Chains A and B, each alone.
Chain A
Amino acid sequence: MVKNKGKISVRQALTLFAILTITPTVRFAASSTALIAKQAAWLVPTVTAVFLFLMLYILNILLQGYKNKSFTEMIYDITSKFWGNLIIFLYLVWITILIAFYLRFYSERLVTSIYPNVKIDIFTISMLILIGFIIRNGIVVIARMGEISFILISIVILVLMIFMIPTIKINNLLPISYLDIMPTLKASFSGAALFYVIYLFFFAHEFTHQEEFFKYGKLTLLFIWLINTVIILASIGNLGHAIISRSPLSFLIAVKQVTLLGVVSGFESILVATWIISDFIMILVLTYSVLNIIKSLFKLSSYNSFINIFLVFLFFISWILANNVFELQTLSVDVVVSGNIIMQFILPIIIVVIALIRKKINIKTN
C-alpha cells in the first residue's frame, strides 16, 4: 500500500518540473537562443545548466531547513508578516499572469500550426474545463499523470531526435570561437527564465523524501540540459539559425522536415500531441500552486470553492494580456523573461540569504 496518502515524493515533483521546462523549451528555446547566439545557440543550455545547478543548491538549503512546510510558510517564517504577505501576493499575481500567458500561447500555437480556421476560444475554454475537472483530484493524481506524460514525452522527443540526426548539417552549428562567449551568456538569461522549479515549492509541504531533493534534482538537471541541447542542435543543425530565429514554432518546422526512408512523414502530428499534453500539465501544475497560495494567503481550509472562479478569471486575463500573437511574442521577450528571472532567481536568493542571516536555517543541514 502506498504510504503517505495525499503526498507526492520529491522525485515525482521534479518530474513535474522537468515537464514544466519542456513546454517552453519546445516553444521558444531554439528561436530565442538562435536570435542572440546564432550558430552557437546549442552551447547555451550548458551555461544555463550552471545557473540551474546553483538554483537547485540554494533551494535545497531552503528545503532541508524547512521540512514539510510550503514556500508560503517558509516566507512567513523568514520575513515579517507584512513583507511575507507582500512577497506572496507578488508571487500570486505573477504566477497568475504566467498561467494566463501560457494558456494564451498554447491556444495561439495550435491556431497557427494546425487549426488556422478554428476559433481560438475553443482551445482555451476546453483546456480550462479539463483543468477544472482534473485539479479537484489533488496533487497525487496530478503527479501520476505527470509521470506518465514524462515517459511519453521523453520517448517522442528521443524518437524524433533519432530521425533528425541524419539531416543535421554540421556547417550550421559551426564555427564556435571566443566571439560567441558573450552572445551565449546573454542568451542563457532567457534560457534560465524557463526553470520554474520555485513555483513547485508552493506545495512543498506535500513532498515526501525531501532529503532526496538534490540527488534527483541533479538527475532532472541532466535531463533538462540534454533535452534543451538536443532540441536546439536538431533545430539549428537542420535549418540554420537564420530560419530558426525567425520562426515562432522553430522545433515544429524542424520536425516537419523529417522523412523516414523518403516515404513516411508527418511526424509533427506526434509532436503536436505531446505539446498539448505538456502544456496541459504545465497549466495544471501552476494553477495548483496558485490555489495553494490563495489557500494560505486567505487562510482557507480548502480551495475547492475557488477553482471555478479562478479559472474564469484566468480566461479573461488571457484575453487582456495581448491583442494578437505579435504582442504576445513581444510580451514574452520583454516582460516574461525578466519577470521570471526576478521571481525565480533573485527573490528566492534574497529570501535564502535573509534566512541565513537570521539563522533560521543553516547550510550544513544537508
Chain B
Amino acid sequence: MIRTITLTLFVFILYVATGLETLVGGRMDISDAFYIATVGLDKEDDEIQMTIVTKQYSPKEETSQIAKQDKYFVSVGRDVFEAARNFNSFMDKETFWGHVSYILVSENLAQKDIDSALDFFVRDHEHKLTSNVLVIKDARAEEAIKLVTDSGEDITTKLKVLSKGVGALSISSELPLIDAFNKINNKYCSCYIPTLKIVEDQKDEPEEETKEASNTENEKTDEKTKRLVLEGYVFFDQDDAKLLCSIEGGTARGFNFIINKIKSGVIVVKDPDGEYVNLEIIDSKTEIIPKIEDDKITVKLKTKMNSNISEIHGEVDIFKADIIEGLVNQQNDIIKAEMQSVIGLVKEYNSDLFDLSSVINHKYPKKWDKIKDNWREVFKDIKFEIEVESKINRTYSIKKPALSREKEKK
C-alpha cells in the first residue's frame, strides 16, 4: 500500500515537473499575459479595426523606451473576434480580455451595428460585464487612444478621471456593458450610450471643459491643442439599434435629470440687477408618473431638486424671500427647458429614450400587456407634462456678498 502510494506520488511529481502542457491546455501564465484595459473599435471599409491598450503599471524603476512604445496595438479583422485574435499573430504576449475597463466605439461603427460590435464582449467567458461603453463622436477610436497615449498619459486612468469628473457637471454618465446590452435587447426602449469627443480649440467653448482635462492641457502649450472630453449621449433606435441622434450640453443634462443621473451641476441665474448668481445642484429626483385615462396616456415628469448658492456676483443682498423666489423660478425654467428639449427629441424620433415602457409596465401591468405590441403607435400619442419643484436651500460660509455692506452705509 505505502509503496504504491509513494510510487504514484513520485510519478505524479515527475509528471508535473516535466511536461504538463500536453494534457491540459489553456494555461496562461500571468507574466505572459497582456492585460487589456481599454479597447477601441473602428470601422475600416468593411472591416473592423481594433486598438488595444494595456494599463500602465508603475514598476519601481523607470521602464525603458521600448516599453513605452508598446502601449497600444492595432489589428484588423472581418469581425470583432477575428480582429481580437489577429493580435496574437504579431504580439509577443497573449492578449487577456478579463479586465477591459472601457470599450470605445467610433461613431460610424456605432451607426451601423452597435449590437454586433458588443456581442463578443458579452458572450466571451473572459470578459467582465461591468466594463463601460463609450461612443466616440466624429472621430476614430484609434485617434482618441493615440491622442492620450502619445501625450504620455494612460488612457484608462484618463477615462476613469473623466467619468468621475463629469459628475460635477452632469452632462454625461457611465454605462456598464451589461446595461447597454440590456437596453439594446429591450425592444420597447432605445439604448443610450455616453459619448466622448475630441475638442480641438480650447477657446471655443470654455464652459464645457472638465477641470481635469484643462489642467493637463494647460501644461502643454502646443499650437494645436486637442483634448478628450466626455459629454453627452448618443441614442439608438429601439427596433433595429441604428443610431438615432446625439445630444450634449443642456439637453444631455436634461436627459440626466429625467433618468436620475444628476450628481451635481451648475445653474446660472440672474439677480434683480442682472448680475449672475451661481447655483450648485445638490440633488435631484425625477418621478415619471404615467396616467391612463380613456386609453389616453399622459406622462408627468415631476422633478424635485435642491441647490445651494455657490457664487454671487452682484451687490444686492439676495437673501430675501421674494428675490429667492425669483431665483427659484428662473432655476425651474432652466431645468424645464433642458428637459423639454429632450421631450422634443422623443417626439421627433418617436422613440422611448428614457425607458417609459418599464414605468408603465410597473404601474399598469395589465394595460401594458395590451399595448406593448404596438407600443410605438401608442407612444406617438403620449402627452408629456413637466413639473419642476426646486428649492434653494442655503449658501456656505459667507452670507452677504462683500460689497453689499458698503452699499447699506451709503
Whether A associates with B in a native complex is yes
Q: Is B116 an interface residue (CB 8 A)?
A: no
A118 touches B26 (CB 8 A): yes
Q: State in angstroms the CA–CA spacing of A265 and B127 once bound together.
A: 13
Q: State in angstroms the CA–CA spacing of A122 and B23 once bound together.
A: 9
CB-CB under 8 A from B363, the residues of chain A are: 175
Known A175-B362, A257-B130; contact A112-B178, beta-carbon cutoff 8 A: no
CB neighbors of B among A67-88 (8 A): none
Given A117-B25, A243-B181, A256-B128; 16 other pairs, CB 8 A cutoff = A112-B125, A113-B125, A116-B125, A117-B26, A118-B24, A118-B26, A122-B23, A175-B361, A177-B366, A239-B182, A242-B185, A243-B182, A253-B129, A257-B130, A257-B178, A259-B130
Q: State in angstroms the CA–CA spacing of A256 and B129 once bound together.
A: 8
How extensive is the interface on chain A, given as a class?
20 to 34
B-contact bits for A146-182, CB 8 A (1 contact / 0 none): 0000000000000000000000000100110101000
B365 touches A116 (CB 8 A): no
Q: When the two chains form the complex, which single residue of A179, A242, A259 contacts B186, counting CB atoms closer than 8 Å?
A: A242
Q: Is B61 an interface residue (CB 8 A)?
A: no
A-B contact pairs, 25 of them (CB 8 A): A113-B125, A114-B125, A117-B26, A118-B24, A118-B25, A119-B25, A174-B362, A175-B361, A175-B362, A175-B365, A179-B365, A179-B366, A179-B369, A239-B182, A240-B182, A242-B182, A242-B186, A243-B181, A243-B182, A256-B128, A256-B129, A257-B129, A257-B130, A257-B178, A265-B128
How extensive is the interface on chain B, given as a class?
20 to 34
B-contact bits for A96-129, CB 8 A (1 contact / 0 none): 0000000000000000111111110010000000
CB-CB under 8 A from A175, the residues of chain B are: 361-363, 365
Known A112-B125, A113-B125, A171-B362; contact A243-B24, beta-carbon cutoff 8 A: no
CB-CB under 8 A from A256, the residues of chain B are: 128-129
CB-CB under 8 A from A122, the residues of chain B are: 23-24
Tell me the smallest distance from the CB of B359 to a CB of chain A, in Å.
9
A-contact bits for B125-156, CB 8 A (1 contact / 0 none): 10011100000000000000000000000000
Q: Is the interface of A mostly helix, strand, loop or mixed?
A: loop
Closest 5 CB pairs of A and B: A117-B26, A117-B25, A177-B365, A175-B365, A175-B362
**CB nearest neighbor in A for B182:** A240
A239 touches B369 (CB 8 A): no
Tell me the smallest distance from the CB of A264 to a CB of chain B, in Å.
13
Q: Is B404 an interface residue (CB 8 A)?
A: no
Q: State in angstroms the CA–CA spacing of A115 and B128 once bound together.
A: 16
**CB nearest neighbor in B for A246:** B185
CB-CB under 8 A from B365, the residues of chain A are: 175, 177, 179
A243 touches B178 (CB 8 A): yes
CB-CB under 8 A from A117, the residues of chain B are: 25-26
Q: Is B358 an interface residue (CB 8 A)?
A: yes
A171 touches B358 (CB 8 A): yes
Q: When the two chains form the complex, which single residue of B23, B125, B178 contacts A239, counting CB atoms closer than 8 Å?
A: B178
**CB nearest neighbor in A for B181:** A243
Tell me the smallest distance from the CB of B288 to a CB of chain A, in Å.
12
Q: State in angstroms the CA–CA spacing of A243 and B25 once bound together.
A: 30
B-contact bits for A244-287, CB 8 A (1 contact / 0 none): 00000000010011010000010000000000000000000000
Q: State in angstroms the CA–CA spacing of A273 and B358 once bound together.
A: 37
Q: When the two chains form the complex, which single residue of B125, B185, B366, B369 contacts A243, counting CB atoms closer than 8 Å?
A: B185
A-contact bits for B22-37, CB 8 A (1 contact / 0 none): 0111100000000000
Tell me the smallest distance from the CB of A242 to a CB of chain B, in Å.
5
A-contact bits for B374-410, CB 8 A (1 contact / 0 none): 0000000000000000000000000000000000000
**CB nearest neighbor in A for B28:** A117
CB-CB under 8 A from A119, the residues of chain B are: 25
CB neighbors of A among B17-52 (8 A): 23-26
Tell me the smallest distance from the CB of A281 to a CB of chain B, in Å.
24
CB-CB under 8 A from B185, the residues of chain A are: 242-243
Tell me the smallest distance from the CB of A119 to a CB of chain B, in Å.
7
Output the residue of B125, B129, B358 with the most chain A CB within 10 A. B125
Q: State in angstroms the CA–CA spacing of A198 and B213 once bound together.
A: 66
**CB nearest neighbor in A for B176:** A257
Tell me the smallest distance from the CB of A349 to a CB of chain B, in Å.
36
A116 touches B23 (CB 8 A): no
A-contact bits for B329-369, CB 8 A (1 contact / 0 none): 00000000000000000000000000000100111011001
Tell me the smallest distance from the CB of B57 to a CB of chain A, in Å.
15
Q: State in angstroms the CA–CA spacing of A274 and B78 once bound together.
A: 40
Tell me the smallest distance from the CB of B188 to a CB of chain A, in Å.
11
CB-CB under 8 A from B182, the residues of chain A are: 239-240, 242-243
**CB nearest neighbor in B for A113:** B125
CB-CB under 8 A from B129, the residues of chain A are: 253, 256-257
Q: State in angstroms the CA–CA spacing of A303 and B273 once bound together.
A: 99
Q: State in angstroms the CA–CA spacing of A242 and B369 once bound together.
A: 17
CB neighbors of B among A47-78 (8 A): none
Tell me the smallest distance from the CB of B94 to a CB of chain A, in Å.
11
**CB nearest neighbor in A for B178:** A239
CB-CB under 8 A from B366, the residues of chain A are: 177, 179
Q: State in angstroms the CA–CA spacing of A253 and B130 once bound together.
A: 11
Tell me the smallest distance from the CB of B174 to a CB of chain A, in Å.
12
Tell me the smallest distance from the CB of B193 to a CB of chain A, in Å.
18
Q: State in angstroms the CA–CA spacing of A119 and B21 once bound together.
A: 12
CB-CB under 8 A from B125, the residues of chain A are: 112-114, 116
Q: State in angstroms the CA–CA spacing of A177 and B368 once bound together.
A: 12
Q: State in angstroms the CA–CA spacing of A256 and B125 once bound together.
A: 10
Tell me the smallest distance from the CB of A122 to a CB of chain B, in Å.
7
Tell me the smallest distance from the CB of B378 to a CB of chain A, in Å.
18
Tell me the smallest distance from the CB of B243 to a CB of chain A, in Å.
22
Q: State in angstroms the CA–CA spacing of A288 and B130 once bound together.
A: 43
CB-CB under 8 A from B369, the residues of chain A are: 179
**CB nearest neighbor in A for B186:** A242
CB neighbors of B among A327-365 (8 A): none
CB-CB under 8 A from A171, the residues of chain B are: 358, 362
CB-CB under 8 A from B361, the residues of chain A are: 175
CB-CB under 8 A from A265, the residues of chain B are: 128
CB-CB under 8 A from A177, the residues of chain B are: 365-366
Tell me the smallest distance from the CB of A50 to a CB of chain B, in Å.
24
CB-CB under 8 A from B130, the residues of chain A are: 257, 259
Known A179-B365, A242-B185, A242-B186; contact A116-B128, beta-carbon cutoff 8 A: no
Tell me the smallest distance from the CB of B24 to a CB of chain A, in Å.
6
**CB nearest neighbor in B for A114:** B125
Q: State in angstroms the CA–CA spacing of A114 and B26 once bound together.
A: 9
Q: State in angstroms the CA–CA spacing of A177 and B363 once bound together.
A: 10
CB-CB under 8 A from A116, the residues of chain B are: 26, 125
